[in-house]
Structure 1
Amino acid sequence: MMTDPRKALADARLYGILDLGYVTAEKAEEATRALLKGGVDLLQLRAKTWTEAAILELGKKIAPLCKEAGVPFVMNDFPSLAIELDADALHLGQDDGSLEEARKLVGDQMLLGRSTHSPEQARQALLDGFDYIGFGPLFPTPTKLGRPGIGMDHVRAVQADVGIRIPVFCIGGIRRDNLAQVIEAGARRVVIVSDLLTAPDIATAVAEVQSSLRSAG
């Protein structure tokens, strides 16, 4: 049963992404169920190379699984699909338009997230009125080819500056084997993609990450 998406966002520590760059269409539902079983707090559907029609068809299978699990469903990039799938949130990159433009399309209730790659962009997203941000990539990652890792020097400052107002999810190359470093750098919330989706047991991997995040306080 879905709790209030805003409360779920406020409480969230681990943001999961069903990235179709790592999971085949045939395995998408199975991977989603495993991510949810393991305990992700939010789940985004990201399919950079898919057609909108194909994303919509998959979204019709994924969104109900999230609703059933009480986990907010996030649509990446496409406001029209977010509306059609009754998503709880829409995530926008730096080049995906303004908050005002998105609000005109999706209304006032849907949560809006923004990708940010510097402290300046993080602060701007807060000023613009986004509900949460992704901050990174901390490490180089195949998910963002050509974008260098920004490192962890600014994590604590962004958390102290922006993270006290809206959730800041560190992202980019974060894995179970470097998560302790990321937490030590000041992160309270993270996005992990490939390390979860390529794990032999996705649900167990998710549970491991949640245990580490929750025990860090």
Structure 2
Amino acid sequence: MTTKHSHSPEEIRRLLRVYFIMGSPNTVGRPPEEVLTEAIAGGITLFQFREKGPGALTGSAKRELASRLQSICRKAGVPFLVNDDTALAEELNADGVHVGQDDEPAGILRSRLGADKIIGVSAHTLEEARQAVLDGADYIGVGPIYPTSSKPDAEEACGPQLLTDLRSQGIQLPIVAIGGITCLNAAPILAAGANGLSVISAIAGAPDVRQAAADFASLASR
């Protein structure tokens, strides 16, 4: 089993800066393709397809939407990751996957997907973060930082303090923060050691998607 990665930590940190997560349930009645196109124009650096929640597509409809969104990302040079569904990621030859603690470990995913794929793992504790490092993850997603409405089953909000704790305990892996993040509450997250901001509704549900993405891009590049 290999844990080699072809992406350097520096490259991953850059890609995590404005990490947009979305599926059809998040786009408030607008076509997901349109929302993604505008978000890319605003400056998102990475996209995760997460088709979950009330009214989420399944089967071939989910696969077809994923393929259309992947095509938009590919044309723009934005990496396209799939949330949890490793089989779909393999089928589409996605740029990578993001998995939770209940999914296959990063080491097994690495042997399945190969060294060139980006593998992210959700971590809520120091132990989970250390395990992700050992398993060969490219980055960890830490949160929810603040209370969130996008994930009804989310763990309790941990605040930016968890990021500070992880960094002080020697976790050097790139970290993207998630959960209830807006442009108004993002500064403490970056100051605490996150390399990027992961958002769903603050971009997907914004009246002006392009401007919302641009505001996050401006924050994350400071």
TM-score, normalised with respect to structure 2: 0.86
- Structure 1 equivalent of residue 165 of structure 2: 157
Residues 1:90 and 2:97 are matched in the alignment: yes
Per-residue deviation, 1:5: 6.3
- Structure 1 equivalent of residue 12 of structure 2: 9
Cα 1:20–1:108 change in 2 (3 A) is same
Code of the aligned partner of 1:107: G
Please list the CA deviations of residues 163-198 of structure 1 after superposition, one character each: whole Å capped at 9, or x if unmatched: x3x310011111112112323333331101111111
Write the distance in 1 (CA, Å) between the matches of 2:51 and 2:181. 20
- Structure 2 equivalent of residue 109 of structure 1: 116
Cα 1:181–1:129 change in 2 (3 A) is same
TM-score, normalised with respect to structure 1: 0.88
- Structure 2 equivalent of residue 30 of structure 1: 34
Cα 1:20–1:5 change in 2 (3 A) is farther
14-23 or 182-191, which moves further after superposition? 182-191
**Higher normalized contact order (CA 8 Å, seq sep 6+, divided by chain length):** 2
Residues 1:55 and 2:55 are matched in the alignment: no
Aligned mate of 2:211, from 181, 187, 204: 204
99-108 or 172-181, which moves further after superposition? 99-108
What SS does the corresponding residue of 1:204 show, helix, strand or coil?
Answer: helix
Aligned mate of 1:120, from 122, 127, 135: 127
Point out 4+ residue stretches in structure 1 off by more than 4 angstroms: 4-8
Cα 1:104–1:181 change in 2 (3 A) is closer
What SS does the corresponding residue of 1:151 show, helix, strand or coil?
Answer: coil
Cα 1:131–1:62 change in 2 (3 A) is same
Question: What is the root-mean-square deviation of aligned Cα atoms in Å?
Answer: 2.0
What SS does the corresponding residue of 1:143 show, helix, strand or coil?
Answer: coil
7-16 or 168-177, which moves further after superposition? 7-16
- Structure 1 equivalent of residue 22 of structure 2: 18
Q: Any stretches of 5+ residues in structure 2 without a counterpart?
A: 1-5
Cα 1:83–1:25 change in 2 (3 A) is farther
What SS does the corresponding residue of 2:109 show, helix, strand or coil?
Answer: helix
1:135-146 matched pairs, under 5 angstroms: 135-146=142-153
